[in-house]
Amino acid sequence: MTAVLTADAVTKQFAKDDEAIVALREFDLDIEEGSFVTLLGRSGCGKSTLLNMLAGLTAPSTGRVRYRDRTLSGPDTSIGYLTQHDTLMPGRDVLRNVEMPLEIKGVPAAERRRVAAELIERVGLGGFEKHYPRELSGGMRRRASLARMLAGAPETLLMDEPFGALDAQLRTELQEELLRLWQGSGQTVVFVTHDIEEALLLGDRVVVLGKLGRILLDRKIGLSRPRSADESRVDPEFVALHRELSASLKGDAS
Ligand SMILES: Nc1ncnc2c1ncn2[C@@H]1O[C@H](COP(=O)(O)OP(=O)(O)OP(=O)(O)O)[C@@H](O)[C@H]1O
């Protein structure tokens, strides 16, 4: 396998009131180029800390993160990161936020407007182009952030629970849209979720994380695509995988 992103014996600890908090210990992971990997884990197991390191935003305490053949030492334009918190620019409306990565690349105004408008439509925000972030709901801001990340067409996409705050219908629509955009793109996606069904509907591979980022299960998912949520729920293979992932999450005792 050609690994595009690698965590190599990564440990991350934080200092808090003179005490060391270990978030991740001796963590190893290879992400294959062009794959869609979902990281599944309960709250506090170190998923966001891991993504921050995979994005080059936080340095590991020990160990290293490699992107292709280089050690990552800061943010990289090849890697798009949709964080859990809002990073839209408050002084820009939706259209100008989504255009930002294209602006940075020097794409001419008419072209970037066209690409941004299409993505805004795809994430279901058509009609809100002129709205400022403060005028949007939390879910709408997430969708605008998603469109902005996609506008940059990064080689690798890191996504931290992007659809967690959305209603079920919208969540399904955006999962499907994301898969449509990803398939055939050659892009690599690392998608964090705590939802077993979401992990299975999206991933080629699901990595289940336990405390301190311990890998509880690393499972290839051979389910055919497209995977509809309604049909999957009654598919015996899907149900068996769901059970397996659920058991591995529950088994994280130590
Ligand atoms: N900046 C920080 N300072 C101190 N402790 C931190 C910091 N960031 C994370 N931690 C700790 O590291 C651990 C892992 O946190 P992290 O946010 O990575 O978990 P998570 O799996 O993403 O959780 P959630 O699903 O709730 O977002 C937690 O115990 C958390 O308290």
Residue to substitute in 38, 47, 190, 195 for testing ligand 1 pocket (most ligand atoms within 8 angstroms of CB): 47
- Give distance in angstroms: CA of 215 to centre of ligand 1: 17
The pLDDT assigned to 254 comes to: 54
Ligand 1 site, residue 194, Cβ cutoff 6 A: yes
* Interatomic CA distance for residues 219 and 207, integer angstroms: 6
- Give distance in angstroms: CA of 14 to centre of ligand 1: 9
Ligand 1 site, residue 193, Cβ cutoff 6 A: no
* Interatomic CA distance for residues 162 and 151, integer angstroms: 16
Ligand 1 nearest atom to the CA of residue 209, by list position: 21
**142 close to 165: Cβ distance less than 8 angstroms:** yes
The b-or-e profile of 79-115 (16+ CB within 10 A means b, else e) is: bbbbbbeeebeeeebbbbbbbbbbeeeebeeeebbeb
* Interatomic CA distance for residues 27 and 20, integer angstroms: 17
Q: Where are the beta strands (DSSP E) in the chain?
A: 3-16, 19-32, 36-41, 62-67, 70-71, 79-82, 156-160, 188-193, 205-209, 215-220
* Interatomic CA distance for residues 56 and 158, integer angstroms: 11
- Give distance in angstroms: CA of 211 to centre of ligand 1: 11
Identify the H or E element spanning 114: helix 109-122
The pLDDT assigned to 229 comes to: 85
- Measured by CA distance, the residue closest to atom 16 of ligand 1 is 46
- Residue 132, CA atoms < 13 Å, CB-side half-sphere: 5
Token digits for 176?
């499907």
Count CB neighbours of 56 within 10 A: 18
Ligand 1 site, residue 85, Cβ cutoff 6 A: no
* Interatomic CA distance for residues 240 and 207, integer angstroms: 16
Count CB neighbours of 182 within 10 A: 18
Block mean pLDDT (10 aa), the chain, length 254 = 93 90 95 96 92 95 95 92 90 97 93 95 94 93 92 95 86 89 92 95 96 94 89 92 94 68
**10 close to 60: Cβ distance less than 8 angstroms:** yes
The b-or-e profile of 154-169 (16+ CB within 10 A means b, else e) is: bbbbbbbbbbeebeee
**Which has the closest alpha carbon to 191: 152, 157, 155, 154?**
157
Ligand 1 site, residue 83, Cβ cutoff 6 A: no
* Interatomic CA distance for residues 142 and 163, integer angstroms: 8
Ligand 1 site, residue 210, Cβ cutoff 6 A: no
The pLDDT assigned to 230 comes to: 86
